[in-house]
């Protein structure tokens, strides 16, 4: 007991010394955060004592004046869900992109890792002597690669579809290309296909970005969307599947197969129509889509996953329907009531999202212990210093013992995931920081993760 007493005394002395040293190195009235990773909690003591020492250290850290503008919600537990450290863990806070943990976990569980989107191109006409007397209909789905994410892969795919049309012996198409977006219809039959999202673009795609604006003369003209220098992220409004359908039409037009240069939105054919499938495209498996969603924190992909849940289980390809599916899964499978969170989208982009940190750790614990999809989900998360949004963070010799999901919107910094410490402890954590300096809060999150790796 005497040795334990002196250990706590030493820990308090080290903390006070660290605060004082860092205060001297920072600006007056704005001391730098304590370097938590410099502390070592001896594994000589039982886990209960070590966790208490950890808890005391973190509690003192969060009370520093430099964090007075920040609302913290932190929950750290062991692999069985037993709490290790809690700080306002049951408060509903803005999660930013850590909300994608919910979207991707439920999508993986409900749809399965081998689920694939199918995009169909059919015709309402007949083919005779190389002439297709009728229209082409592109039946759009929620495939995120085809539904508005403007990269070279879409162009490559639509060119291959045109190749397949030619391979059928078609030399001329008398009708037009129509886009059927009924996949996105809600319960009233209304198609809600225009969305605003943060998307990422490569150099080739940047030059193609345009938006329609009204000039001073009242005419609609196309204007290039300009991104900041070196920026690959932009808040854009997209009409899902329209870009893909237009690219396909352009591929047909360039080969002299069709007179139209743009696809028509919507297809309304009275009476019963017989559709003949011509091209069927399958996406990559869901496990690959989820990996991209989490590692790159792709907002559009995450929202599409939620819309997919709505379509597959409620017949409505909308966010609202998908969120109802997620609510049912969390309530029935994990006993998480709607009072513990609020979802406005699947990406975390909206400031209306609210989640208790302990909700995320409970989901992470389930995905680590209660499902055969454990490895797929675990490997979909970013590895510090290696890939994804953590590629340049948490520089530590044991960094690859961690998998995490970051979150960042205006006024919000968050981080959640798994850690295996140097002593072999498997920990699950969720940290939400609302308000304060983003750079300082990211540094604090990194320091906490390093401390846990040292445990």
Per-residue pLDDT reduced to its tens digit, 175-188:
999 999 999 988 77
H-assigned helices in 75-191: 100-111, 152-167
Better pLDDT: 18 or 262:
262
- What is the arithmetic mean of pLDDT over 180-201? 75
416 contacts: CB under 8 Å, gap ≥ 6: 98, 101, 357, 360, 361, 364, 404, 405, 407, 429, 430, 431
| pLDDT at site 5 | 46
- What is the arithmetic mean of pLDDT over 153-180? 93
| pLDDT at site 17 | 45
Percent of the chain with pLDDT strictly greater than 70: 80
Backbone angles phi, psi at 372, to 5 degrees: -70, -10
- What is the arithmetic mean of pLDDT over 118-144? 94
pLDDT band at 38 (very low <50, low <70, confident <90, very high): confident
Residue showing tokens 């994608």:
100
- What is the arithmetic mean of pLDDT over 223-235? 55
| pLDDT at site 269 | 58
Per-residue pLDDT reduced to its tens digit, 323-361:
999 999 999 999 999 999 999 999 999 999 999 999 999
Asked if residue 59 lies in contact with residue 51, where contact means CB atoms within 8 angstroms, the answer is no
Residue of 112, 109, 90 whose CA lies nearest to 101: 109
Asked if residue 333 lies in contact with residue 363, where contact means CB atoms within 8 angstroms, the answer is no
433 has a pLDDT exceeding 70 = yes
Per-residue pLDDT reduced to its tens digit, 359-377:
999 999 999 998 999 999 9
pLDDT band at 19 (very low <50, low <70, confident <90, very high): very low
Write down the mean pLDDT value for the chain: 86
3-state SS, residue 161: helix
**Six-digit token pair at 320?**
């609202």
Residue of 381, 408, 385, 403 whose CA lies nearest to 291: 381
Residue of 197, 402, 166, 430 whose CA lies nearest to 297: 197
For each of the domains in the chain, give its residue range(s) and CATH number, in order of start: 69-112+291-454 (3.40.710.10), 118-193+240-283 (3.50.80.20)
Other CB atoms within 10 Å distance of the CB of residue 24:
10
pLDDT band at 443 (very low <50, low <70, confident <90, very high): very high
Backbone angles phi, psi at 423, to 5 degrees: -90, 5
Category of 241 on φ-ψ map: left (φ > 0), alpha (ψ -120 to 50) or beta: left
Which residues are paired to 402 by β-bridges?
419
- What is the arithmetic mean of pLDDT over 376-405? 97
């Amino acid at each position: 007991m005497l040795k334990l007493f002196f250990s706590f005394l030493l820990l308090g002395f080290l903390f006070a010394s660290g605060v004082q040293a860092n205060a001297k190195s920072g600006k007056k009235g704005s001391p730098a955060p304590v370097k938590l990773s410099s502390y070592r909690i001896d594994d000589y003591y039982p886990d209960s004592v070590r966790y208490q020492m950890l808890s005391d250290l973190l509690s003192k850290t969060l009370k520093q004046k430099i964090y007075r503008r920040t609302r913290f919600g932190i929950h750290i537990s062991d692999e069985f869900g037993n709490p290790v450290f809690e700080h306002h863990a049951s408060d509903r806070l803005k999660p930013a992109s850590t909300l994608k943990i919910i979207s991707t976990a439920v999508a993986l569980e409900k749809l399965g890792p081998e689920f694939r989107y199918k995009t169909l191109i059919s015709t309402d006409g007949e083919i005779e002597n190389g002439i297709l007397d009728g229209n082409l209909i592109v039946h759009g789905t929620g495939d995120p690669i085809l539904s508005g994410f403007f990269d070279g892969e879409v162009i490559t795919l639509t060119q291959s579809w045109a190749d397949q049309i030619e391979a059928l012996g078609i030399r001329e198409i008398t009708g037009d290309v129509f886009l059927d977006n009924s996949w996105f219809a809600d319960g009233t039959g209304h198609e809600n296909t225009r969305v605003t999202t943060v998307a990422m673009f490569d150099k080739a795609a940047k030059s193609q970005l345009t938006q329609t604006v009204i000039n001073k003369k009242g005419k609609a003209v196309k204007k290039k969307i300009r991104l900041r220098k070196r920026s690959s992220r932009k808040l854009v409004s997209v009409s899902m599947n329209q870009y893909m359908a237009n690219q396909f039409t352009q591929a047909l037009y360039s080969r002299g197969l069709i007179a139209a240069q743009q696809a028509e939105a919507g297809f309304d054919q009275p009476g019963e129509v017989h559709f003949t499938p011509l091209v069927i495209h399958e996406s990559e498996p869901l496990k690959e889509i989820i990996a991209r969603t989490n590692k790159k924190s792709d907002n559009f992909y995450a929202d599409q996953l939620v819309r997919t849940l709505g379509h597959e289980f409620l017949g409505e390809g909308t966010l609202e329907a998908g969120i109802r599916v997620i609510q049912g899964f969390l309530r029935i499978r994990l006993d998480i009531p709607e009072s513990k969170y609020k979802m406005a989208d699947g990406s975390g982009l909206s400031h209306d999202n609210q989640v208790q940190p302990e909700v995320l750790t409970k989901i992470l614990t389930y995905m680590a212990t209660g499902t055969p999809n454990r490895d797929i989900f675990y490997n979909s998360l970013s590895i510090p210093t290696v890939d994804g949004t953590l590629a340049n963070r948490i520089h530590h010799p044991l960094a690859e013992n961690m998998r995490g999901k970051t979150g960042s919107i205006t006024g919000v910094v968050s981080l959640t995931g798994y850690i295996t410490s140097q002593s072999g402890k498997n920990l699950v954590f969720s940290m939400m920081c609302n308000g304060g300096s983003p750079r300082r809060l990211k540094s604090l999150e990194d320091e906490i993760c390093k401390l846990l790796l040292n445990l």
